[in-house]
Amino acid sequence: MNTFFHSVRLDREKCKGCINCIKRCPTEAIRVRDGKAMIIPERCIDCGECIRVCTHHAKKATYDHLDVLRQYEYTIALPAPALYAQFNHLEDVEIVLNALLEIGFDAVFEVAKAAEIVSDATRRYMAQPGIPKPIISSACPAVTRLIRVRFPNLIDQILPLNAPVEVAARIAREEAVQKTGLPPEKIGTVFISPCPAKVTAAKMPLGSSHSEVSAVVAISDVYPRLLKAMHTDGEVSPLAAPQAGKIGVSWASSSGEASALLNDNYLAADGIENVIRVLEDLEDEKFEHLDFIELNACNAGCIGGVLTVENPYIARTKLKRLRKYLPVSLNHASCPEQKHLKWDAPLEYAPVMKLDEDFAAAMEKMSEMERIEASLPGLDCGSCGAPTCRALAEDVVRGSASPDACIYKFRESISSLIDNLQKLNNCIPSTLRGSSSVEETHSKKGGELK
Amino acid sequence: MSILKLHYEIDGEDFTRAGEASASVKKRLRQLGVKPDATRKVSIALYEGEINMVIHAHGGDIDVEISPEAVRMVLADRGPGIENIDQAMKEGWSTAPDEVRSLGFGAGMGLPNMKKNSDEMQIETVLGKGTTVTMAVYL
Ligand SMILES: Nc1ncnc2c1ncn2[C@@H]1O[C@H](COP(=O)(O)OP(=O)(O)OP(=O)(O)O)[C@@H](O)[C@H]1O
Ligand code: SF4
Ligand SMILES: [Mg+2]
């Protein structure tokens, strides 16, 4: 049974077995074995760091291609707000929305619109008495996955609402069924995504039992097609009008979601290493008086996703310019049905770091691990295929590696082997030794006597 | 049944490294599959103790013993000692200097937090000689 779907995968052909990715993976989910990288599926959170660092392009994201449009009778584009930040001199979101229609979609539902709906719902959720604060955003699926495997104490604080793309897909499909009279399965909701984590979230959702997103395509794939279809001269009459304001569009960059809550007691962190630091501190209760925590795995937020094309910081400037003339929100106080918004499959802790199901056995393994680690050189050089000496020690007790994978250990083993051979040679009883060695002793003695 | 022993030397000069021992213990408890709630308690209590050793006592030694029943922590320093333990245990009581307060410490919540998050806690202190805090969190 395939319980793990991951968008992030390895292209074995291209992999040279270098150690760039194992060193940068925030969950230590990659090893090099037999000259090729391998991803430990239960640990991978699809953050895309390995795609960023692999100079051989051997790590890739899998996603759908635009020909999925042919599989449906009616297709709706769900553009991520990060898409708008990819274009130069974009004055009006309308131009992008119409270009989406031109490249073959039948309709567009802006994810930014759903983001405004989620912002509204979050404000209402947070106003309830007795909810555990600070609330942690659930919009970045890489972060939600990370919390699930590493921060069990924080699971109750995750915002139990669907991410904007999921809300968009649900509302869009329902509206399309009403408008077209088609059965729901003939309608394709296609997300235009900044990242692989969102691909995984659509195939294996966390928090909801199923996803209404039919397919996920990459911003980088759609971008060149869109460029050709974008008309800035105003010749075509606009078919699609903007559906979201500043609040929705701002979700594309870090602190956009948090600032939409109109509450200053928030923290927004971006970049997976920073996110981990914040989560560690949060778990140790090092922050006080915070109501909301927004965390994005990518630097600068979703505009920094690995499936975008523009440099995230330039994208942020573009987004700011675009936002300037937008109204604050176009979806204030819209009350969609709760079934579109609320999680229906609460998150459960997945203790993938656990050494053993049995505590006593885990203790044994831990002691063994400490002993092995102490015997390793502590260089964390990665040559063994594990990111650190400690990780190798862990792999050894888990039974997936040998301490001899360490080249320094191996060298030691070889030299002690040579020593032992030498000793063995010296131990051979004289009756079995060759005559030449016997003679040698004699002549030496003879020499002394002289 | 074996007991896992861990030892940490806490550098009294380096603020930025304070917290390394508690982070290391937390990682190990996670790998052992210890209940998340107990892991959190150990991590909070140990971090407060570690910070106190750095701020008030120029560092020291931490010994941690993990058994199936409990996590036992002994934090020993050769600092100035605590004059009045009852007072020190009160929420809000602090002798932290201004430069430490400007870093966000010195609210006088450390020892009360340690008490709250541990199932056993003892303080032995000799003025001018040092302080030993012993804590246990039951598993
Ligand atoms: N290891 C120690 N050696 C000497 N004095 C200590 C030690 N630990 C605590 N104290 C004394 O007890 C007081 C209270 O400690 P506590 O940890 O509760 O508060 P704090 O460290 O001052 O502030 P906070 O922990 O909130 O940052 C300290 O201000 C200090 O005077
Ligand atoms: S920050 Fe945004 S783009 Fe990056 S992984 Fe999370 S959801 Fe995807
Ligand atoms: Mg303190």
Q: What is the ipTM of this complex?
A: 0.84
- Residue type for position B17: R
Rg for chain A, CA atoms, rounded: 29
Per residue in A213-237, pLDDT (tens digit) is 999 999 999 999 999 999 876 555 5
Phi, psi dihedrals of residue A394, rounded to the nearest 5°: -65, -45
Domain range for residue B13? 4-138
Strand order in the sheet with A215-218: A107-108, A74-79, A187-193, A215-218
B93 lines ligand 1 (CB under 6 A): yes
**Do A324 and A374 reside in the same domain of the chain?**
no
CATH number at residue B114: 3.30.565.10
CA dist A193 and A302 (Å) reads: 9
Instruction: Tell me the helix, strand and coil percentages in chain A, rounded to 5.
Output: 45, 10, 40
Which residue of B33, B40, B44 is in closest CB contact with A351? Answer: B33
Is the pLDDT confidence value at A332 over 80? no
Handedness of CA A268, A274, A275, A281 (dihedral sign): negative
Residues of A in CB contact (< 8 Å) with B are 150, 152-153, 280, 283-286, 349, 351, 353-357, 359-360, 362-364, 366-367, 370, 394
**Distance between B85 CA and the closest CA of chain A, angstroms:** 24
Q: Are strands A8-10 and A59-61 parallel, antiparallel or unpaired?
A: antiparallel
Rg of chain B, C-alpha, whole Å: 14
Determine the residue of chain B that is closest to A353 in CA distance.
B31
Based on the fold, state whether residues A48 and A96 are members of the same structural domain. Answer: no
DSSP character for A64? B
Answer with the one of A306, A338, A370 that is the final residue of a domain: A338
Atom of ligand 1 nearest to the CA of B80: 4
The structure tokens listed for A309 are: 């094309």
Dist. CA B104 → ligand 3 center (Å) = 11
Res. A2 pLDDT band, cuts 50 70 90: very low
The DSSP annotation for B71-139 comes to EEEEEEE-S---S-HHHHTSTT-----HHHHTTT--SS-HHHHHHHH-SEEEEEEETTTEEEEEEEEE-
CATH of the domain at A43: 3.30.70.20
Report pLDDT for A448: 41
Place of tokens 């070889």: A414
CA angle A362/A368/A373 to nearest 5° reads 120
Q: How many domains does chain A have?
A: 3
How large a percentage of chain A has pLDDT more than 70?
93
> For residue A338, what are the CA distances in angstroms to A28, A156, A250, A385?
38, 20, 24, 48
Q: Is B47 in the pocket of ligand 1 (CB under 6 A)?
A: no
Q: Is residue A298 part of a domain?
A: yes
Whether A371 has a pLDDT exceeding 80, the answer reads yes
In a domain, A355, yes or no: no
Say yes or no: A35 and A91 in one domain.
no
Q: Is residue A297 part of a domain?
A: yes
Asked if residue A320 and residue A191 are part of one domain, the reply reads yes
Asked if A180 and A323 sit in the same domain, the reply is yes
Q: A26: Cβ below 6 Å to ligand 2?
A: no
Q: Which residues span the domain enclosing A325? A: 66-338
- The three-class DSSP label of residue A196 is helix
Query: Is B28's Cβ below 8 Å from some Cβ in A?
Result: yes
Asked if B16 is an interface residue toward chain A (Cβ–Cβ < 8 A), one would say: no
- Of A221, A1, A229, nearest in space to A97 by CA: A229
Which neighbouring-strand residues pair with A76?
Answer: A107, A189
Pair A307, A370 in one domain? no
Number of domains in chain B: 1
Answer yes or no: do A41 and A85 share one domain: no
pLDDT in tens, B32-47: 999 999 999 999 999 9
Q: What rounded mean pLDDT belongs to chain B? A: 93
Cis peptide before A160 (omega within 30 of 0): no
Residue A418: what pLDDT? 92
Q: Min CA distance, A354 vs chain B (Å)?
A: 4
pLDDT in tens, A146-169: 999 999 999 999 999 999 999 999
pLDDT above 90 as % of chain A = 80
What pLDDT digit, counting tens, does each position of A115-152 carry? 999 999 999 999 999 999 999 999 999 999 999 999 99
> Which B-chain residues 31-60 have CB contacts (< 8 A) with chain A?
31-34, 36-37, 39-40, 43-44, 47
Token representation of residue B55 = 């701020």
Residues A281 and A399 grouped into a single domain: no
pLDDT at position A236 is: 56
Same domain, A159 and A132: yes
Does some domain include residue A350? no
CA distance B79 to chain A (A): 25
CATH code at position A432: 1.10.15.40
How many Å lie between the centroid of ligand 1 and the Cα of residue B106?
7
The token pair at A11 is: 């292209």
Smallest CA-to-CA distance from B24 within A375, A370, A286, A361 is with A370
The yes-or-no verdict on residue B1 having pLDDT over 70 is no
More confident residue, A393 or A239: A393
Give the pLDDT of residue B98: 86
Q: How many helices and strands (H and E) does chain A possess?
A: 17, 11
Which residues of chain A does B37 touch, with a Cβ-Cβ cutoff of 8 Å? Answer: 153
pTM: 0.88
**Residue A292 identity:** F
Same structural domain for residues A14 and A152?
no
Alpha-carbon dihedral angle through residues B127, B132, B133, B135, given to the nearest 10 degrees: -160
Would A345 be classed as within a structural domain?
no
- pLDDT tens-digit readout, A177-212: 999 999 999 999 999 999 999 999 999 999 999 999
- Chain A: residue nearest B1 by CA? A360
Q: Which atom of ligand 2 is nearest to the CA of A270?
A: 1
Instruction: State whether residue A61 is helix, strand or coil.
Output: strand
Do both A384 and A274 map to the same domain?
Answer: no
Query: Phi/psi of residue A434, each to 5°?
Result: -65, 155
CA A437/CA A137 separation, integer angstroms: 79
- Residue A92 and residue A127 in one domain: yes
**Do residues B32 and B38 lie in contact, with contact meaning Cβ atoms separated by under 8 Å?**
no
Of B2, B22, B31, the CB nearest to A355: B31
